[in-house]
Structure 1
Amino acid sequence: MSSALEKALAVLEFMVRRPLGCPVSEIASALDMPVSGVHRLLKELERSGYVHQAHSMGEYTLTIKLASLGLSFLGQTGFCDLSQPILDDLAQTSQELVRLALADGDHLIWVGVAQGATSGLRYDPGSEQGQIAHLASSAGGQAWLAAMSDEEAIALVMQQGLHKTQPAGEAAPQSIAELLSILATIRERGYSMNSNSFLAGMAAMATVIYQADTQQAIGTVSIAGPSARLTPTVMQDMATALKQAALALGEASRASLYFSQHRPKPALRKLA
């Protein structure tokens, strides 16, 4: 990292993963930066309202300002308001967790959610909202990769990492060859479907959302729940509803200029 801006952004991105706060020394060690330099950056960020120090020698935490900027930006696109009823309907139909992920360059970001499970086991990962989806192990990521050529998919996986930093399920792909086999199956089926991959005990399915006017891929919609309940048979029964939701989300994106101006880098193909 060369510029002060790059260093400040790296500090903010690190602190996003530490919602309870962290000391200057931990940030400096993780980012391989001098403690004095990190301290100066944090003081600048504090003056700008992005971080807060609990007391004079305490840990630093992010304020709500960064989150409010992101939410304000998403709100201005108009898409989240239009997409929420569609997510709610799919959650009601599936009785499981439904999530919307939008493309941002080489990444998929979870930005929308609806919970359909009302009793018993529930998969409800609130901490993952706003986070980057792991492409190789998550259902949404696998669907996204399947819409690319193998070469493009491998490049993105190598950039992000085949394995998650947090523990994945035992069925997560362990090699590029295994992942490519999974992607070939998704292309034939038209949607992804996995169990015990992203997390142990969780199953999920997903498909790509295409903007209705441009046919550009803009994200994914997924259904996730406990693998004991969301079995392969249940997921196959949900496939039509999932695809219909993806089509509705693509139609809803017509109302947002954002999706005609911001197109993902990879040249994605249309899944069946």
Structure 2
Amino acid sequence: MTVAAVSRCLTLLEFLAGSSDAVEISELAGVLDMPVSAVHRLLSTLVSHSWVLQDSGSQRYALSLRMSTLAFRSLDLQNLPDLAQTVMEKLAADTREYCRLALVEGQNLVWVARAQGAVNGLKYDPDMGQEIVLHATANGKAWLATLPEEEALAIAYSRGFGDSRKVGPNSVRNVDELRLRLAETRERGFATSLEEAEAGTAAIAVPFRSGNRNHAQVAGTISVAGPLVRITPERWDELAKALHRAAAELAEIWSLRRRQRHIKWPASAASA
């Protein structure tokens, strides 16, 4: 299979993952800029491997749960859900807001855990399948601020600042604005997003490392988010302290995981 074919296959899967309804083959052909016959061959291969499903009535196509199954299997093998969820539940209880954890994956952040702490009033409960827009989210800026400025700006620029209708009214629109907000993040010690990701919401985030030493690699970010009327500047210090405590706990977990990976267990222990 050629590189171009692999690229088209991935584009197709990503498009289906972002579609709430099954999609006609003609629409997929338009997205891929390919003849319908060629798209049909690609879809037939994906259907045969259970990555895509075809509705027998409408003949439309939709993503199967295979991708989700593999993702959760990978997380389970890393012991991430159980280890991180305890920390997130505690953070949610302490802040009484919605909390999320994202992991660094290459030049991206990916949501892997969440916990809802709000018990009264408005509840913020966004879709975990949404892409993390690095320049518009507190999590994105918390991570970018840990990178050398040139690298951080290059990553953000490579993704573009996108359609303003897909982010909040206060989102940055160019590299110069992002540079200023990353500088603010470094100075404060935490990132904020005030109607930047979406209207009416606010968030605070900090990074956590794969160990408690300053030179340890950044493993991911954690955030507290909710309605703008609750995540006010008066609460920033309180929420930031809770986030930093949780980040320290997560750093211990990641440090332990790293040590465990390098342990050479005795044969008797491995077979127990």
Identical residues among aligned pairs (%) = 36
Q: Name the TM-score, length of structure 2 as normaliser.
A: 0.89
Cα–Cα, structure 1 residues 215 and 155, in superposed 2: closer, same or farther, change >3 Å?
same
Counterpart of 2:48 in structure 1 is 47
Task: Please report how far the alpha carbon of residue 258 of structure 1 lies from its aligned counterpart in structure 2 after TM superposition.
Answer: 10
Counterpart of 2:31 in structure 1 is 30
Distance 2:4 2:202 in 1: 42
The correspondence of residues 72-221 of structure 1 with structure 2, limited to 5 A, is 72-125=73-126, 127=127, 129-163=128-162, 167-212=166-211, 215-221=216-222
Counterpart of 1:68 in structure 2 is 69
Task: Please report how far the alpha carbon of residue 3 of structure 1 lies from its aligned counterpart in structure 2 after TM superposition.
Answer: 3.8
Task: Decide whether the 8 Å contact of 1:90 with 1:241 is kept in 2.
Answer: yes
Task: Decide whether the 8 Å contact of 1:209 with 1:249 is kept in 2.
Answer: yes
Distance 2:50 2:258 in 1: 30
Task: Please report how far the alpha carbon of residue 158 of structure 1 lies from its aligned counterpart in structure 2 after TM superposition.
Answer: 1.2
Task: Please report how far the alpha carbon of residue 75 of structure 1 lies from its aligned counterpart in structure 2 after TM superposition.
Answer: 0.8
CA deviation string 1:143-181 (max 9, x = no partner): 111111221111101111223575211111122111111
Cα–Cα, structure 1 residues 43 and 166, in superposed 2: closer, same or farther, change >3 Å?
farther
Alignment root-mean-square deviation, CA: 2.1
Q: Name the TM-score, length of structure 1 as normaliser.
A: 0.89
Counterpart of 2:13 in structure 1 is 12
Distance 1:257 1:166 in 2: 41
Distance 1:26 1:165 in 2: 24
| SS of residue matched to 2:166 | coil
Asked which structure has the greater CA Rg, the reply is 2
Distance 1:108 1:46 in 2: 29
Task: Decide whether the 8 Å contact of 1:79 with 1:256 is kept in 2.
Answer: no
Cα–Cα, structure 1 residues 253 and 131, in superposed 2: closer, same or farther, change >3 Å?
farther
The one-letter code sitting in structure 2 at the alignment partner of 1:138 is T
Task: Please report how far the alpha carbon of residue 84 of structure 1 lies from its aligned counterpart in structure 2 after TM superposition.
Answer: 0.2
Task: Decide whether the 8 Å contact of 2:81 with 2:113 is kept in 1.
Answer: yes
Quick check: 45-54 or 248-257, which moved more? 248-257
Task: Please report how far the alpha carbon of residue 57 of structure 1 lies from its aligned counterpart in structure 2 after TM superposition.
Answer: 4.6
| SS of residue matched to 1:256 | helix
The one-letter code sitting in structure 1 at the alignment partner of 2:195 is N
Task: Decide whether the 8 Å contact of 2:157 with 2:175 is kept in 1.
Answer: no
The one-letter code sitting in structure 2 at the alignment partner of 1:109 is V
| SS of residue matched to 2:103 | strand
Distance 2:220 2:261 in 1: 13
Unaligned runs of 5+ in 1: 262-272
4+ residue segments displaced more than 4 Å: 257-261
Distance 1:247 1:141 in 2: 19
Distance 1:35 1:19 in 2: 22
The one-letter code sitting in structure 2 at the alignment partner of 1:8 is C
Distance 1:165 1:47 in 2: 39
| SS of residue matched to 2:203 | strand
| SS of residue matched to 2:114 | strand
Cα–Cα, structure 1 residues 24 and 227, in superposed 2: closer, same or farther, change >3 Å?
same
Cα–Cα, structure 1 residues 19 and 240, in superposed 2: closer, same or farther, change >3 Å?
same
Ranked by relative contact order (alpha carbons within 8 Å, sequence separation 6 or more), the top structure is 1
Task: Please report how far the alpha carbon of residue 222 of structure 1 lies from its aligned counterpart in structure 2 after TM superposition.
Answer: 0.4
Distance 1:164 1:221 in 2: 26
The alignment of Structure 1 onto Structure 2 pairs a total of residues equal to 259
Cα–Cα, structure 1 residues 130 and 169, in superposed 2: closer, same or farther, change >3 Å?
closer
Task: Please report how far the alpha carbon of residue 247 of structure 1 lies from its aligned counterpart in structure 2 after TM superposition.
Answer: 1.0
